[in-house]
Amino acid sequence: MRLSPFWIAKYSNYVAHGKTIHEVMRDAQHKFYMNTTLNKRIDDFISTHKLDEKYLNEDFYLWYTRLIGSCEFGRKEFMRLNNIKLEDSMTTKEFLSLTRDSYNGYIIQIVEQKYEELKNEN
């Protein structure tokens, strides 16, 4: 048996291990978010993303998984078909517009409704 060095990360009560610290943090957070309510995931997304501000597509890639629960193959194919690169960026509004009619798009539409409600409150 061969042992290889690896990283371990804990996020809340969820643990992951892997080859890189980035990978294990992402996986531990994914485990956490997949065990929270949809409302909690949406609220966390909104609290970390201003509607007209740009963020790396890699961030949206991770959040799409947290919100929707899509598989990696589907996300990669969507990016390929729409010529989206992880290292590029877009606004939250662009991200929502691009994904609202995709797999489980009704969740993205709920996110958009919550942004609209927040705007109307202010």
pLDDT of 47-56, one tens digit each?
999 999 999 9
Whether residue 69 is predicted with pLDDT greater than 90 in this model: the reply is no
Q: What mean pLDDT do residues 49-77 have?
A: 91
Average pLDDT taken over every residue of the chain: 91
> Which pLDDT belongs to residue 81?
93
Domains of the chain, residue spans? 1-35, 37-121
For the segment 56-63, the average pLDDT, to the nearest whole number, is 94
Does pTM top 0.85 for this prediction? Answer: no
21 burial type by CB count under 10 A (0-12 exposed, 13-18 middle, 19+ buried)? exposed
Look at residues 87, 63, 83, 65 and name the one whose alpha carbon lies nearest to residue 74. Answer: 65
